[in-house]
Structure 1
Amino acid sequence: MQVMEGSIDKISLIAQRDYERKLGLQKQKETKDSLSAGNEKLAFFNETFTNKRQHIENSLTQSSNLDKTALPQHFDTISKEILLLQKYVANSNIFLRSYDIKKCHESLQELTNKLKELEDTLLPKKKFGFKNKPNPKPPQQKPEKDEVDFQTKTITKELCGFFNKTGETLIMKGDEIFKKDVTVEKLENCVVKFPGSPSTLHLNQMKNCHVFTGPVSTSIFAENCTNCTLVIACQQLRLHASCNVNIYLHVTSRAIMEDCHDIFLAPYNWNYDNIESDFKESGFDKNTNNWKCVDDFNWLYVERQSPNWSLMNEEKRVKNWNL
């Protein structure tokens, strides 16, 4: 009886070891398959990213050969392609390594910088003010104040927007801004309202201001904004060199920020007559809002929240705007 029990124990031990061996082989196979699939995904991503980046670089290179009238649409298309590529990277973060993500963000930043340089070079903004330039001719009579005011107003009207204002409430709406490029620059302690659908909005050197917009059909570019509240809707938001800004945002892509801190986000909540038709005219879906999705080019750690922006506490959000 003792011999039989020993034999049974030995057989059981052999069976157990065989089972463990087979289990180990199965795990090795699964690990190998998993690594293989991961490598295939990474290889496909790298090929796709490289092709898309090369396409954008080719488009940027072609910019100087295009007619000036075609450049706004050309640059807008490139901007959207950069955003789509950025979104592709974000959606692939699950299998990308930190090194891969960092390199992709660096490439995206290079494309964005090159696009901005080309925009500044090929489509320079009109300048304000009157500089004294050397003139070999005898000095002409200084224009009367009324004439200078008229010239300044004409330039401002051409640019469409508001400039060099303090402590005012400023409004443009409807046909004044429809499908136009709007610029707001050098404002302090102002309330600015754009009920309507402009093509783009540029904000620069804003201090202690409130800005309200209807749906901007393409992009909002905001820089050098301090202690401001922006209640804005757009396809794309690019925020640069700004701090202490509350943004009530409707954006259909991922917002981009760089060199910013103390940025607080909440969902867009401005309302005015005909806003529904403006959303329809602007061409994007009011039900698609990625207000929580921000790519911070100064923070490349995907697994950790950027310290430069956060969601606004609900109790601190303004519910009704009566400015």
Structure 2
Amino acid sequence: MDTLTDQTNKLNLLTNREIERQLNLQKKKDDKGTLLPNNEKLDFFERMLAEKQNYIEEMISIAKSVPKIELSNHFNEISKEILTLQKYVAASNIFLRNYDLKKCQYILQELTSKSKRLEDELLPKKKFSFKNKLKENSQMKNSENKEKYDEVDFVAKNLLVKNVCGLFNKNNETLSMTNSDIFKKDITLEKLENCRVFLRGSASTLHLDKLRNCTVFSGPVSTSIFAENCENCTLVIACQQLRLHSSIKTNIYLHVTSRAIMEDCKEIGFAPYNWKYEGVEDDFRNASLDIATNNWTCIDDFNWLNEKHSPNWKEIDEKDRIENWDEIY
């Protein structure tokens, strides 16, 4: 009887151990099943990230072989691809680890910086500057060389005056340019402080750099507006695409038919474009901008990967918006 009891106890012990072993195996299987989807998602994400990164880098690498007339659109396409990749990262942050997010942010910043450096190289901002004339005591050069120099210098200056238009190094002034001044030209406003600027007409591009305590009114720009280093400014602008860099405490009354992209900016406010002047409808047509399409709330912040709203910009409350500029200026 004792022998039978012992055998029964041993059998129960072995059975319990087997049951425990099976339960542990099942638990491991369940745990693996739970983790598998995320692992698969991560593998797929990494493959897609690598493919997209390689594609953007290839676009950057071929930029030097793109005809100059097409370069602006080419870099706009690169910006769109980087933006798409940024959104993909933001949408995937549910299953990404902190390490993965930091790695992605580094990749995005590198792609953006690489593209911007190359764009600055291939499409440099035009500066309104002339070379100083040769001093009269440069008599060591023979007359033939001097004549050649004078001829080339004269042509270069004429081309510069013809193609470049802008306002530079102004303080406490009200400045104005008409359509005859800016039509289809690249306009640059640089190093302005405490100024009011009125650009009535349709320029090709608009560059704003180092503006402080300024208000800028611009008619529709047919391509892009590039603004950087703006502080405590108000910009009333219309364009196909806005790119804003390194700016702070600036309100933008915007009409944009594509998107607005910002980077390294803080305390930026947006509201819809509302500057009215005689001929503005004609300027919209000349700039090929749809006056009925305004994506002023479509702001992409390259410093903010989260799906939540970026803390670097906001919509200006309706009660705080300026509705009639004529009453102020």
TM-score by length of 1: 0.71
The size of the alignment, in residue pairs, is: 278
Matches within 5 A, 1:140-219: 158-219=163-224
What amino acid maps onto 2:271 in structure 1?
A
What amino acid maps onto 1:116 in structure 2?
D
The 1:300–1:181 alpha-carbon spacing in structure 2 relative to 1, beyond 3 Å, is same
Counterpart CA distance in 2 for 1:167 and 1:108 is 35
1:7 corresponds to which residue? none
Q: Gaps (5+ residues) in structure 2?
A: 1-28, 140-156
Contact 1:211/1:231 (8 A) holds in 2 = yes
Does residue 100 of structure 2 align to residue 95 of structure 1?
no
Deviation string 1:246-301 (CA, Å, 9 cap, x unpaired) is: 1111223332333332222212111223323322332333333332333334x244
Contact 2:222/2:289 (8 A) holds in 1 = yes
Matches within 5 A, 1:78-89: 78-89=74-85
What is the CA-CA distance between 1:204 and the residue it aligns to? 1.9
The 1:241–1:27 alpha-carbon spacing in structure 2 relative to 1, beyond 3 Å, is closer
What is the CA-CA distance between 1:198 and the residue it aligns to? 0.9
What is the CA-CA distance between 1:209 and the residue it aligns to? 1.5
Counterpart CA distance in 1 for 2:160 and 2:79 is 33
What is the CA-CA distance between 1:41 and the residue it aligns to? 6.0
2:111 corresponds to which residue? 107
- Of 305, 308, 323, the residue aligned with 1:319 is 323
Does residue 264 of structure 2 align to residue 259 of structure 1?
yes
The 1:29–1:260 alpha-carbon spacing in structure 2 relative to 1, beyond 3 Å, is closer
The 1:37–1:303 alpha-carbon spacing in structure 2 relative to 1, beyond 3 Å, is closer
Contact 2:206/2:226 (8 A) holds in 1 = yes
After the TM superposition, which of the residue ranges 99-108 and 196-205 deviates more from structure 2? 99-108
What is the CA-CA distance between 1:127 and the residue it aligns to? 4.3
3-state SS, counterpart of residue 203 of structure 2: coil
2:55 corresponds to which residue? 51
Contact 1:181/1:198 (8 A) holds in 2 = yes
- Of 207, 228, 231, the residue aligned with 1:226 is 231
Contact 2:235/2:251 (8 A) holds in 1 = yes
Contact 1:83/1:253 (8 A) holds in 2 = no
- Of 236, 241, 252, the residue aligned with 1:236 is 241
The 1:154–1:301 alpha-carbon spacing in structure 2 relative to 1, beyond 3 Å, is closer
RMSD, aligned CA: 3.5
Contact 1:199/1:216 (8 A) holds in 2 = yes
Counterpart CA distance in 1 for 2:72 and 2:236 is 22
What is the CA-CA distance between 1:230 and the residue it aligns to? 0.2
Counterpart CA distance in 2 for 1:308 and 1:30 is 37
What is the CA-CA distance between 1:220 and the residue it aligns to? 0.9
2:274 corresponds to which residue? 269
What is the CA-CA distance between 1:34 and the residue it aligns to? 7.6
Counterpart CA distance in 2 for 1:262 and 1:115 is 27
3-state SS, counterpart of residue 302 of structure 1: coil
The 1:133–1:206 alpha-carbon spacing in structure 2 relative to 1, beyond 3 Å, is farther
Counterpart CA distance in 2 for 1:268 and 1:177 is 20
After the TM superposition, which of the residue ranges 42-51 and 153-162 deviates more from structure 2? 153-162
What is the CA-CA distance between 1:54 and the residue it aligns to? 0.9
- Of 114, 120, 125, the residue aligned with 1:116 is 120
The 1:285–1:206 alpha-carbon spacing in structure 2 relative to 1, beyond 3 Å, is same
After the TM superposition, which of the residue ranges 196-205 and 124-133 deviates more from structure 2? 124-133
2:22 corresponds to which residue? none
Does residue 238 of structure 2 align to residue 246 of structure 1?
no
The 1:137–1:170 alpha-carbon spacing in structure 2 relative to 1, beyond 3 Å, is same
1:128 corresponds to which residue? 129
3-state SS, counterpart of residue 241 of structure 2: strand
After the TM superposition, which of the residue ranges 27-36 and 124-133 deviates more from structure 2? 27-36
3-state SS, counterpart of residue 176 of structure 1: helix
Counterpart CA distance in 1 for 2:108 and 2:308 is 17
1:75 corresponds to which residue? 71
What is the CA-CA distance between 1:320 and the residue it aligns to? 1.0
Deviation string 1:208-254 (CA, Å, 9 cap, x unpaired) is: 22111122111111122222110011122222232221111122333
The 1:30–1:173 alpha-carbon spacing in structure 2 relative to 1, beyond 3 Å, is farther
Q: Gaps (5+ residues) in structure 1?
A: 1-24, 64-69, 139-151
Deviation string 1:109-163 (CA, Å, 9 cap, x unpaired) is: 322222223333xxx634436759777537xxxxxxxxxxxxx999666522222
State the identity %.
41
